[in-house]
Amino acid sequence: MSILVIDAGTSGVRAVVVGEDARVLHEEHREVLPTSPGPGLVEFDPSALATAALSIARTAVAAVGGVSAVGIANQRSSTVAWDRATSEPVAPGLGWQDLRTVERCREILSQGILISPNSAPTKMAWQREQADPTGTRDFCVGTVDSWLVWKLSEGALHVTDVSNVSAGALWSADEGDWNEKILTACRIPRRELPEIVDSSGVIGRASALPGAPPIAGIAGDQQASLVGQACVRPGMAKITFGTGGMLDLCLGAQRPPFDVVGPGGSTPMVAWRIRGETTWLLEGLMLAAGSNLEWLRDGLGILATTAESHDVASACTSTEGVVYVPALLGLGAPYWKLDARGTLLGISRGTRRAHVVRAVLEGIAQRAADLVEAAEADSGLEIATLRIDGGMSANPTFVQAVADATGRPVDVAGGVEATALGAAFLAGLATGVWSGWDDVAAAAPPARRVEPAGSFDRARWKEACRRAGSLSAAPHLEAPQNR
């Protein structure tokens, strides 16, 4: 038996067929880039996304002769609105980075309701109001997973899983359902929203694909990555190092005692729900990870490729006192100083390219240690071993720096991308490919372990972050706190 995963990211969509041994049997990719028609605006074409997903999914299924189930992983908080009768989008898709609803969020804050413009509710409201100011048309609204399931089932299923609802700031933990207070504030009719289903479980058929395999697993990309690295027991954590960085710590069934941001700076949300049982996580956000290497390559021109950063950095054994704070887009958890800026300190006449590149890698590793400390403080759990995936996990210098900065062993995922594997596991658990979490762990062992071989001056690091946070002349911007 094999599982087809449709993995819809920010810049493209993949179709991956995963076998019972958790190996990739076939993979297709299609670029579907977002557009930015103005400052702070990030849109995508829902029809182009669906067409690409269905096309490569059919190709992948044909290549392996059929699949037993379908799993979906998706960029979180990006939204789509479409006409229920025609299945045609009624507005552009809004990417999670889109900031056009900042003013709407401020209006809602005056009602005592805290919503980020990066979250789903005000995006859905904007799409509805643009397409139907009178409120007379019959719409469907949802996140990207809902849109893909609708197209895969040829309009038979309008669903989303609880991990996407929670990540999109639409979940009420108290009610175990949609947050009615937020729906009312954003004027989103409940009838237009999808049914909330478990993250693992058969929900219907993908009739648009050969053989109409069952759709059996749905998760937001970071939750899927947590499963893909088999971080399914309390205290197990992973960091995905892509353009940004996300730490996710599995908490188990215990709901965190805070709803927005914990005292340590991490954010609670649902990891997954299986057979009605909810597992929680804490998430720590690093706004810029791999994008710092892209800046070295494209902005400064001191790297030909981002992969070259390992060879350049390994030309020296230390930064000789150079410290880099990777705050190109501000500092996320635990500082939440969104107006902080990237900072390079300790430069001398002897500073060379290798020192700067190593300082950038070590700065990202130090931010990883920040996220670990935040999650441990908010959870009361010890992260004994850290698992990592994403493009930067292929960089040996960087991985060693993560081990040294966090002071604990680092397990590197077998593949640099665990998201698709996690969605496959969720679908396979529902259809009998894997019988439980022990099978999942056995199918996804880390490729290698890296032990700490040194340490960093964390006090000096935190002083550097303080200085990075004081650079902007604009009013200080902070993450929302519990109210």
Q: Which residue has the higher pLDDT, 33 or 219?
A: 219
Rounded Cα distance, 333 and 361, in Å = 18
Backbone angles phi, psi at 7, to 5 degrees: -115, 105
Place of tokens 């719409």: 139
CATH architecture of the domain with range 2-221: 2-Layer Sandwich (3.30)
Contact 208, 153 (CB under 8 A): yes
DSSP 392: G
Q: What is the pLDDT of residue 416?
A: 55
What's the pTM? 0.91
SS3 percent helix, strand, coil of the chain, rounded to 5, is 35, 25, 40
β pairing state of 12-19 and 69-74? unpaired
| Residue 264: pLDDT over 80 | yes
Q: What is the pLDDT of residue 132?
A: 83
Q: Which residue has the higher pLDDT, 329 or 159?
A: 159
Rounded Cα distance, 203 and 70, in Å = 10
DSSP 396: H
DSSP labels for 83-109? Answer: ETTT--BSS-EE-TT--TTHHHHHHHH
Average pLDDT over residues 267-285: 96
Kindly state the tokens that stand for 234: 């309390």
Q: Summarize pLDDT for 55-83 with one digit per residue, the tens.
A: 999 999 999 999 999 999 999 999 999 99
| Residue 20: pLDDT over 80 | yes
The 3-state secondary structure of 178-218, one letter per residue:
ECHHHHHHHCCCHHHCCEEECCEEEEEECCCCCCCCEEEEE
| Residue 133: pLDDT over 90 | no
Domains of the chain, residue spans: 2-221, 230-412+453-483
Under the banding of pLDDT at 50, 70 and 90, the label for residue 351 is very high
SS3 label, residue 388 = strand
Q: Summarize pLDDT for 207-222 with one digit per residue, the tens.
A: 999 999 999 999 999 9
Using CB atoms within 10 A of its CB, is residue 247 exposed (0-12), middle (13-18) or buried (19+)?
Answer: buried
DSSP β-bridge partners for residue 72: 6, 218
Using CB atoms within 10 A of its CB, is residue 117 exposed (0-12), middle (13-18) or buried (19+)?
Answer: buried
DSSP labels for 317-361? Answer: SS-TT-EEE--BTBB-TTT-BTT---EEE---TT--HHHHHHHHH
Rounded Cα distance, 470 and 252, in Å = 38
Average pLDDT over residues 154-171: 96
Rounded Cα distance, 163 and 246, in Å = 15
Rounded Cα distance, 126 and 318, in Å = 50
CATH T-level assignment (fold) for domain 230-412+453-483 = Nucleotidyltransferase; domain 5 (3.30.420)
Q: Summarize pLDDT for 431-451 with one digit per residue, the tens.
A: 999 999 999 999 988 999 999
| Residue 287: pLDDT over 50 | yes
Q: Summarize pLDDT for 397-439 with one digit per residue, the tens.
A: 999 999 999 999 999 998 757 899 999 999 999 999 999 999 9
Contact 24, 45 (CB under 8 A): no
| Residue 114: pLDDT over 60 | yes
- The H or E element that residue 246 is part of is strand 245-252
The mean pLDDT value of the chain amounts to: 93
| Residue 474: pLDDT over 70 | no
Task: Give the closest residue to 360 by CA, choosing from 290, 448, 460.
Answer: 290
| Residue 268: pLDDT over 70 | yes
Q: What is the pLDDT of residue 46?
A: 98
